[in-house]
Amino acid sequence: MTHFSYKNKQLHAEAVALADIATKFGTPCYVYSKTALVSAFNSFSEALKKRGHLICYAVKANSNLAILNLFARMGSGFDIVSGGELKRVMAARGDPRKVVFSGVGKKAEEMSAALEANIMCFNVESEGELLRLNEVAGKIGKKAPFSLRINPDVDPKTHPYIATGLKENKFGVDYADALALYRKAQSLPHIEVTGIDCHIGSQLTEIAPFIDSLERILALLDKLEKVGIAISHIDIGGGLGIRYRDETPPNIAEYAAALFAKLGKRRQKILIEPGRAMVGHAGVLLTRVEYLKHNRGNNFAIVDAAMNDLQRPALYGAYHEILPVSQSSRPRRTYEIAGPVCESADFIGRGRKLGLAEGDLLAVMSTGAYGMSMSSNYNTRPRAAEVIVDDDKTTLIRRRETTDQLFSGETLLS
């Protein structure tokens, strides 16, 4: 992770000391490295360049407009899961013709908005959704570009909350029902069959589940072609993992090479929906130690970031490395790093050996993905500021929320 490194015992984002960012913008604060974002995008595009492809960045991983705009300027498409994310993409000047719309619960108004915007494709996840899409498109007088999200029933070997391609998951349609649904789609007047899609889970650290699911997709593709249903793109979803601790995920080039080997000579355009692997390592959460507390059972460092700012540890037991912003020679102790929220699940890290004093700054590493985008206002906590560093330049890309904003839509009873 070369974009965040120590210089003179001070942790920097590119050329800017994180301590200076904390002074200027306060804590908690998400800090992103522009160079890290650009290089992740470039790694995907380099790895995929031998084939017609489109990178559809999964907006939900980090949906800040500045980040979407940066990817849009590099030619990225987007994978969205709500009408709100479509609005974000448009506000960030993303090209709607490079947008694919995933998700199991698309509302009619979200479909209309996406049709009006001329998005590239709907990744449809049920028969009910297919029928609704046909109806909505009919009302507008358009044909909806359609791809079916197949549930290939493969075990991604990841945390159960982020596995999506097992037969018991709510996502996609059963493999066995897919052919019949394509036939149905083909027969509907306002549907245009264009693609085939899957996404089996997140934070995958092995290639095999990707290859197994691609194999199933290709078998289905052959069947579709035999019955005269033409498919112009294959969307292999996202899910490539990153190293948070000691995981050894394939790198982007290995992953792409394995997929390409399986694809062989097929001529379809390849769509890919990476989220975490594009932004995960590009961000850190900067937080300050408020109190050190030595209870009989544990040493606690109570910091000013909490589970509302970074949910992953509380929700998945996820591990994030926690580094001191200023390296010191203080004696180290084992700490529970916890936030101010009134839940025992509110921890950022457990059992961390650090030499701390009150007022110290800590950086919670690799929090660019599913950090800010999953944050909430629980405990009436305004959400953190977000900052991007580009070499020695720092830009505030989201102001810290004010408390007044949090209840501005609420009213008293008369």
Ligand X SMILES: *Cc1c(COP(=O)(O)O)cnc(C)c1O
Using rule CB under 6 A, residue 85 touches ligand X: no
- Per CB under 6 A, the segment of 64-72, 185-193, 269-277, 385-393 that binds ligand X is 269-277
| Shortest distance in whole angstroms from residue 22 CB to ligand X | 28
Site string for ligand X, 158-197 (x = CB under 6 A): ----------------------------------------
> How many CA atoms lie less than 13 Å away from 272 in the CB half-sphere?
26
CA 362 to chain centre: 23
Tokens of 232: 């112009």
| Shortest distance in whole angstroms from residue 199 CB to ligand X | 4
| Shortest distance in whole angstroms from residue 274 CB to ligand X | 5
What are the Cα distances from residue 42, in Å, to 5, 48, 100? 21, 10, 20
Residue carrying structure tokens 């007088």: 141
Using rule CB under 6 A, residue 276 touches ligand X: yes
- Per CB under 6 A, the segment of 234-242, 292-300, 310-318, 374-382 that binds ligand X is 234-242
Catalytic residues: 342
| Shortest distance in whole angstroms from residue 164 CB to ligand X | 7
CA 40 to chain centre: 13
Tokens of 49: 């360049």
Using rule CB under 6 A, residue 77 touches ligand X: no
- Per CB under 6 A, the segment of 130-138, 236-244, 253-261, 331-339 that binds ligand X is 236-244
Using rule CB under 6 A, residue 102 touches ligand X: yes
Q: How far is 374 from 279, CA to CA, in rounded Å?
A: 14
Site string for ligand X, 298-337 (x = CB under 6 A): ----------------------------------------
SS3 label, residue 29:
strand
Nearest 5°: phi and psi at 197?
Answer: -140, 150
Using rule CB under 6 A, residue 31 touches ligand X: no
Q: How far is 277 from 71, CA to CA, in rounded Å?
A: 13
Using rule CB under 6 A, residue 58 touches ligand X: yes
Q: How far is 34 from 46, CA to CA, in rounded Å?
A: 18
> How many CA atoms lie less than 13 Å away from 185 in the CB half-sphere?
34
Give the residue closest to ligand X by C-beta: 275
- Per CB under 6 A, the segment of 45-53, 56-64, 220-228, 383-391 that binds ligand X is 56-64
Nearest alpha-carbon partner for 32 in 326, 280, 348? 280
Using rule CB under 6 A, residue 275 touches ligand X: yes
Tokens of 304: 């000013």
SS3 label, residue 294:
strand
Residue carrying structure tokens 């449809």: 124
Using rule CB under 6 A, residue 202 touches ligand X: yes
List residues near ligand X by CB under 6 A: 58, 60-61, 79, 81, 102, 199, 202, 237-240, 273-277, 369
